[in-house]
Amino acid sequence: MNKWLFFTLFFSVLLISACSNSDELSGHTFNVSHTPPFQEDIDDPDKYHSIMTLEFSDGKVSSANSGEGTYELKDDVLLLNFENENEQLEIEFTEFKESDKDFSEYSTLISRSELNITDPDKVSHFGSLHSSLTNDMLVEFLQK
């Protein structure tokens, strides 16, 4: 009888955790920083330049640079989408994985950054951030 109860309880915990909508990023804030240009500085966290700070919460992401948006983490791809009445900025990180550096949580590659503007005569809120993102740029997600 005890074995049956234990099995039922164990199976219930597995089922509940599998159905949970939370992900590993939710509830965390990171400084997204690009790697330093010199190989000798690669292990010095003070040499990493922050591109943006991202705060993740249940499918939503916020950034001082871009306001609030959405995110999706699937396999090793992280997709961010920021939108306002005039612009849409989409950033795709591929090869998203745990970092091998002690001071960083995740290592990834910016594979694509796309900015669409409806009216180019209006002020761009995402233009500055978009111009700082380069395809194939290696970045680290440093826990804040």
Instruction: Dump pLDDT digits (tens) for 22-72.
Output: 589 999 999 999 999 899 999 999 999 999 999 999 999 999 878 899 999
Looking at domain 22-143, its CATH architecture is Beta Barrel (2.40)
Residue 88's pLDDT is what?
Answer: 97
Residue 3 predicted with pLDDT over 70:
no
- pTM listed for this prediction: 0.81
Distance of CA 113 to the CA centre of its chain: 13
Buried-exposed string 42-64: b where 16+ CB fall within 10 A, e elsewhere:
eeeeeebeebbbbbbeeeebbbe
Residue 14 predicted with pLDDT over 80:
no
pLDDT classification of 12: cutoffs 50, 70, 90: very low
Residue 21 predicted with pLDDT over 50:
no
Rounded to whole angstroms, the Cα distance separating 13 from 113 reads: 39
Instruction: Name the residue ranges covered by the structural domains of the chain.
Output: 22-143
Q: Which of 129, 116, 60 is nearest to 85 (CA)?
A: 116
pLDDT classification of 2: cutoffs 50, 70, 90: low
Strands (E), the chain: 29-34, 49-57, 60-63, 67-74, 77-83, 87-98, 106-117, 137-143
DSSP secondary structure code for residue 13 in this structure: H
Q: Which of 45, 42, 41, 17 is nearest to 30 (CA)?
A: 45
